[in-house]
């Protein structure tokens, strides 16, 4: 019987299921298709070419630019019992000859090669006589001049493939590829009618926490103290910053090292190996560190400074949680970060067009930091992916942190801006509030204002950050002005500013606190970690190549002492069990005997606990109080009328239903309501709470508040998603405009639901007048954009078209092709 990809995954890797997207890619390769796969950092690209290599007849050549990754990958494969080798500049002559002999003697199934080695005559002579079943190109964006890491040596790959006796399957993998880069990869590598796979960019196990605070150092020290048993990376923008952070942590006794371009190659290599081998817990680095790091147990990544782009940010945080376990990503932001990045752009780029592109990406990063929407949603939208619900795993969704009343300070800032009569930049406002003797301040006679010097207690940077925070929460507006030296932002008042001055609303801001570690002290787990370290030293490999942290925790949790129990733990396959199983079983049995543990009793208790809490752990059920809902609905209609907007743009129907069923009586409780972020609580919180408190007092209701946390919310027994409700309503014959009103979402979103439903191979039983949703004169322009950018990337298509063309126009034109 032929071995299947799932058999290989289970036997060698120790997993029972593939990650999202992996199986389709693997099957496509096995069926002799060229493939281009775009998968997020940490999404499991290597398995997608390694497993086909095991199934196909012949040798697989993996072209990779990352020397450190080659060694790690080959060591890992060898530990699993798979014949693998690598060829790059780190090999001595004798080592190189040994690899060539292994290839000649069919003792190599997977060969990693640096692109510079593809034209070596010795190598070509040996390979020419072999059956090459697959050439896999890792970091394939390096082939494109549009890519962020273009390498001339990648241009050799097509010539190498053409010189092989028979053309192999060619596969290309990358984590970042714009449309231009994607086209370049296909054309330059001469991919033959490739199957293109774009896995979702979402990494659900990563929490995203952006903290706008000048007190970076205090937060960092608190965080590291709370997470000292975990591995993490701290990224900083400059070498100087790296050195300062490293020295500060070293003085406090932490296991820390550093990595930046100012260190020698040998020092960087040594420091990197210490981190990979768990000899140190923390790496402080510039963004030069990380490419090729396949360490799975990095539990947190902290950006001490803002990165230059969303691409950089997402790639760097992708180094956390590669084992699928929950991990934390924190960005510490202060306004000075923007100036630092602008300086780096000016210092490193001369080409005006590239400089403009860099500034655009930098502004997009700033926009992300100051948004009040779900951070994950904004990031995925940037990559052309839409996300329906809030993620409930980012700082904007979770509202973590202590709330501090900053109303008085906000009033001082707003009063100052009002007295300055017109819009000025942040620096000028700060100078006035801090009582600066700046020449410009004195010339404009701002020293005579009553607000002059009113906020001397703030440092310049702290005050800038506070003003930016007011902007981000909607209490002030920022305006981009065009001058002879480019654009410059100024600050102006808005309606919310006036409400603060009139004491109609408070300014309550979160004060970030470092999270607590989820690491649980466990004596058995620590003993297993110690054994793993000993084995790793004996075999000169990284500890995670023996077993990952999650696998050790799995062993410890069930006291695995039999082959069946061991193989039931994720990450333990037949090969690794045969190699290491008995040693780990011995440690566990010894622990059980020393501590007189009744294994069966402990396991039974754990099972009962899981069974009893299963339903409660999954759902949080709410029943609407219809009378209160109607009163709240009238309130939102009144607010919408005053603000000249649509009611659901104020607060959604589901948020109102949840409020009416849970009766929140404080702002703290209101934060636990879906869709109620800090901006909405500041704007509408008091009005909502007045209605709720008045109602429960009148009806003599005594609500018992319970936090929802991260449980799935079920309102009135309705557990269908919006897309399912929309399609059901349409199938019942309802008009599409009625459906939009009923589920309170845009026409574009509903059209998107229909598109996704049809693309999944389903048929619809209703009619839609799509022609009425766009202008005929725009159709050709929309179709051309779809052709250029792929119809799945709606956000990218929209940006390429004139502003007057709306999302629903684009979706209607696309849908016509399928209906």
What's the CA gap between 790 and 27, in Å, rounded? 24
> Sign of torsion, CA 108 109 112 118?
positive
Q: What torsion do the CA atoms of 175, 179, 185, 190 make, to the nearest 10 degrees?
A: 140
How far apart CA 815 and CA 809 sit, in angstroms, is 10
pLDDT, average across residues 30-56: 90
Tell me: do 39 and 186 sit in the same domain: yes
Instruction: Give the pLDDT of residue 484.
Output: 45
pLDDT of residue 615: 37
**pLDDT classification of 772: cutoffs 50, 70, 90:** very high
Q: What does pLDDT average to over the chain?
A: 86
Q: What is the pLDDT of residues 189-213, one digit of tens each?
A: 999 999 988 877 788 889 999 987 6
Question: Has residue 624 been placed in a domain?
Answer: yes
The confidence band for 611, taking pLDDT boundaries of 50, 70 and 90, is very low
Contact 255, 280 (CB under 8 A): yes
What length is written for the chain?
819
Question: Residue 344 pLDDT > 90, yes or no?
Answer: no
Sorting pLDDT into bands at 50, 70 and 90, what band is 60? very high
Give the per-residue pLDDT at 148: 53
Task: Give pLDDT, residue 610.
Answer: 45
Q: Cβ neighbours of residue 253 under 8 Å, at least 6 residues apart?
A: none
User: Are 566 and 485 part of one and the same domain?
Assistant: no
Number of domains in the chain: 6
pLDDT in the model for residue 607: 57
For residues 517 and 37, which has the higher predicted lDDT (pLDDT)? 37
The burial class, CB within 10 Å (0-12 / 13-18 / 19+), for 490 is middle
Cα 294 to the chain's mean position, in Å? 17
**696 Cβ contact list (under 8 Å, min separation 6):** 663, 665, 702, 703
Q: Is residue 232 part of a domain?
A: yes
Could you tell me if residue 393 is inside a domain?
A: no
* Same-domain status, 227 and 264: yes
Residues 11 and 121 in one domain: yes
Average confidence (pLDDT) over 714-727: 83
Assess whether pLDDT exceeds 50 at residue 251.
yes
**Closest by Cα among 162, 156, 155, 171 to 110:** 171
**Considering the domain boundaries, does residue 613 fall inside one?**
no
Q: Is the pLDDT of residue 743 over 90?
A: no
Mean pLDDT, to the nearest integer, of 219-241?
92
Take residue 242 and report the two structure tokens written for it: 């790296």
Note whether 706 and 753 are same-domain residues. no
Q: Which of 172-176, 209-213, 396-400, 726-730 has the lowest average pLDDT?
A: 396-400
pLDDT, position 90: 84
Token readout for 21 is 């997207």
Taking Cα atoms as reference points, which of 309, 339, 330 lies closest to residue 213?
Answer: 330
Confidence at residue 609, expressed as pLDDT on a 0 to 100 scale: 46
pLDDT for 660 beyond 70: yes
Residue 194 inside a domain? The answer is yes
Confidence check: pLDDT of 483 > 60: no
pLDDT at residue 50, rounded to an integer:
96
List the single range of 537-541, 544-548, 607-611, 777-781 with lowest mean pLDDT.
Answer: 607-611
Average pLDDT over every residue of 612-630 = 72
Does 615 reside within a domain?
A: no
Residues 275 and 342 in one domain: yes
Q: How confident is the model at residue 744 (pLDDT cuts 50, 70, 90)?
A: confident
Cα 116 to Cα 107: distance, rounded to the nearest angstrom:
23
Last residue of a domain, one of 487, 511, 535: 511
Q: How far apart are CA 262 and CA 239, in angstroms?
A: 7
Domain that holds residue 588: 523-597
158 within some domain: yes
State the distance between the two ends of the chain, measured CA to CA, in whole angstroms: 44
Q: Among residues of the chain, what percentage have pLDDT more than 70? A: 92
End of a domain among 668, 687, 712? 712
Say yes or no: 708 and 739 in one domain.
Answer: no
Mean pLDDT of the region 147-160: 78
When mean pLDDT is compared over 118-122, 293-297, 516-520, the highest value belongs to 118-122
Rounded CA separation 728/718 (Å): 13
Supply the Cα-derived Rg of the chain in whole angstroms.
29
State whether 328 and 260 are in the same domain. Answer: yes
At 723, is the pLDDT very low, low, confident or very high (cuts 50, 70, 90)? confident
* CA dist., res. 722 & res. 715, Å (int): 13
Q: Is residue 156 scored above 80 in pLDDT?
A: yes
Burial 279-299 (b: 16+ CB within 10 A, else e): ebbbbbbbbebbebbbbbbbb
Residue 775: its pLDDT value, please?
A: 92
Report the distance separating Cα 323 and Cα 682, nearest Å.
Answer: 39
Q: How far is the CA of 810 from the CAs of 107, 181, 392, 785, in angstroms?
A: 54, 24, 30, 10
- Give the tokens for residue 34: 């060229």
* Spatial distance between the Cα atoms of 660 and 637, rounded to a whole number of angstroms: 16
Which of the residue ranges 351-355, 488-492, 572-576 would you say has the lowest mean pLDDT? 351-355
Q: For residues 116 and 139, state if they share a domain.
A: yes
Distances (CA, A) of 608 to 186, 553, 564, 597, 615: 54, 20, 22, 18, 13
Query: Is there a single domain that holds both residue 60 and residue 156?
Result: yes
Residue 220: its H or E element: helix 216-226
**62: in domain:** yes
The lowest-confidence range among 178-182, 361-365, 560-564 is 178-182
Asked if 276 and 295 count as a contact pair (C-beta separation under 8 A), the reply is yes
List the CATH number of the domain containing 556: 1.10.150.80
- What is the reported pLDDT for 616? 42
- Asked if residue 346 has pLDDT above 90, the reply is no
In this predicted structure, the answer to whether residue 95 has a pLDDT above a threshold of 80 is: yes
Residues 6+ apart with CB under 8 A from 473: 372, 507, 509, 678, 679, 682
pLDDT at 172: 94
Q: How much is the average pLDDT of 694-698?
A: 92
- Do residue 215 and residue 194 come from a single domain? no
Whether residues 187 and 261 fall in one domain: no
Residue 482 has pLDDT above 60, yes or no: no
- What is the DSSP-derived secondary structure letter of residue 410? H
Task: Find tokens 């109080």 and name the residue.
Answer: 625
Out of 30-39, 143-152, 220-229, 685-694, least confident range: 143-152
Residue 469 is predicted with a pLDDT of 78
pLDDT at 545 over 70: yes
pLDDT score of 577 more than 80: yes
**Structural domain ending residue among the three candidates 476, 511, 546:** 511
pLDDT of residue 719: 72
Query: Which of 220-224, 394-398, 443-447, 744-748 is the least confident region?
Result: 394-398
Q: What percent of the chain clears pLDDT 90, i.e. is strictly above it?
A: 39
């Amino acid at each position: 019987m032929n071995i299947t990809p799932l058999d290989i995954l289970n036997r060698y890797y120790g997993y029972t299921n593939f990650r999202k997207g992996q199986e389709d890619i693997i099957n496509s390769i096995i069926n002799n298709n060229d493939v281009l796969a775009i998968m997020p950092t940490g999404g499991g690209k290597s398995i997608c070419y390694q497993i086909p290599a095991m199934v196909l007849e012949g040798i697989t050549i993996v072209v990779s630019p990352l020397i450190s990754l080659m060694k790690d990958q080959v060591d890992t494969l060898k530990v699993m019992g798979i014949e693998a080798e690598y060829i790059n500049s780190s090999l001595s002559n004798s080592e190189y000859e040994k690899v060539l002999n292994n290839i000649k003697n069919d003792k190599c199934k997977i060969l990693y090669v640096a692109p510079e080695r593809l034209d070596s005559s010795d190598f070509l002579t040996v390979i020419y006589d072999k059956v090459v079943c697959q050439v896999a190109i890792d970091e394939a964006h390096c082939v494109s001049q549009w890519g962020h890491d273009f390498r001339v040596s990648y241009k050799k790959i097509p010539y190498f493939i053409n010189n092989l006796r028979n053309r192999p399957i060619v596969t290309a993998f990358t984590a970042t590829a714009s449309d231009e880069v994607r086209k370049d990869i296909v054309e330059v590598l001469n991919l033959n009618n490739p199957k293109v796979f774009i896995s979702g960019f979402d990494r659900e196990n990563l929490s995203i926490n952006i903290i706008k605070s000048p007190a970076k150092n205090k937060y960092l020290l608190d965080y590291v103290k709370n997470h000292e048993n975990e591995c993490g990376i701290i990224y900083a923008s400059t070498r100087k910053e790296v050195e300062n952070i490293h020295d500060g942590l070293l003085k406090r006794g932490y296991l820390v090292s550093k990595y930046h371009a100012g260190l020698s190659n040998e020092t960087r290599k040594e420091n990197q190996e210490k981190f990979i081998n768990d000899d140190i817990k923390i790496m402080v680095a510039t963004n030069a560190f990380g490419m090729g790091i396949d360490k799975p147990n990095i539990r947190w990544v902290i950006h001490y400074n803002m990165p230059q782009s969303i691409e950089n940010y997402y790639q760097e945080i992708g180094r956390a949680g590669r084992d699928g376990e929950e991990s934390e990503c924190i960005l510490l932001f202060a306004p000075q970060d923007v100036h630092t990045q602008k300086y780096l752009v000016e210092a490193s780029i001369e080409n005006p067009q590239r400089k403009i592109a860099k500034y655009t990406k930098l502004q997009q990063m700033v926009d992300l930091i100051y948004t009040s929407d779900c951070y994950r949603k904004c990031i995925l939208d940037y990559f052309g992916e839409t996300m329906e619900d809030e993620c409930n795993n980012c700082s904007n969704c979770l509202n973590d942190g202590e709330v501090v009343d900053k109303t008085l300070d906000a009033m001082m800032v707003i009063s100052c801006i009002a007295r300055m009569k017109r819009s000025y930049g942040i620096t000028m406002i700060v100078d006035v509030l801090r009582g600066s003797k700046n020449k410009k301040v004195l010339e404009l006679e701002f020293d005579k204002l009553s607000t002059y010097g009113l906020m001397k207690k703030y440092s310049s940077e702290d005050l800038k950050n506070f003003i930016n925070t007011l902007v981000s929460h909607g209490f002030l507006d920022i305006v981009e002005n065009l001058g002879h030296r480019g654009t410059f932002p100024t600050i102006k008042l808005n309606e919310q500013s006036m409400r603060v001055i009139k004491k109609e609303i408070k300014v309550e801001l979160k004060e970030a606190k470092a999270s607590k570690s989820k690491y649980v002290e466990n004596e058995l787990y620590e003993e297993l970690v110690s054994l793993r370290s000993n084995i790793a030293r004996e075999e000169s490999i990284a500890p995670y190549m023996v077993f990952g942290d999650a696998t050790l925790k799995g062993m410890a949790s069930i006291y695995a002492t039999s082959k069946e129990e061991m193989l039931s733990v994720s990450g333990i396959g037949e090969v690794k069990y045969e190699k290491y199983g008995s040693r780990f079983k011995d440690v566990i049995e010894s622990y059980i005997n020393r501590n007189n543990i009744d294994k069966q009793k402990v396991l039974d208790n754990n099972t009962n606990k899981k069974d009893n809490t299963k339903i409660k752990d999954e759902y949080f059920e709410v029943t609407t109080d219809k009378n209160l809902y109607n009163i709240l609905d009238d309130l939102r209609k009144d607010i919408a009328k005053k603000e000249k907007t649509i009611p659901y743009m104020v607060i959604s129907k589901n948020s109102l239903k949840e409020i009416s069923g849970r009766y929140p009586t404080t702002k703290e409780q209101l934060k636990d309501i879906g869709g109620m972020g800090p901006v909405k609580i500041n704007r509408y919180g008091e009005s909502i709470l007045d209605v709720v408190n008045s109602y429960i007092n009148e009806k003599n209701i005594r609500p018992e508040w319970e936090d929802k946390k991260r449980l799935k919310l079920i309102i009135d027994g309705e557990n269908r998603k919006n897309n399912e409700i929309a399609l059901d309503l349409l199938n019942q014959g309802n008009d599409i405009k009625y459906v939009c009103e009923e589920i309170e979402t845009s026409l574009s979103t509903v059209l998107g639901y229909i598109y996704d439903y049809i693309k999944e191979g389903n048929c619809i039983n209703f009619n839609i007048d799509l022609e009425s949703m766009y202008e005929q004169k725009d159709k050709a322009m929309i179709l051309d954009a779809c052709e250029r950018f792929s119809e799945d990337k709606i956000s990218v298509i929209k940006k390429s078209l004139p502003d007057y063309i709306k999302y629903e126009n684009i979706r209607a034109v696309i849908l016509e092709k399928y209906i």
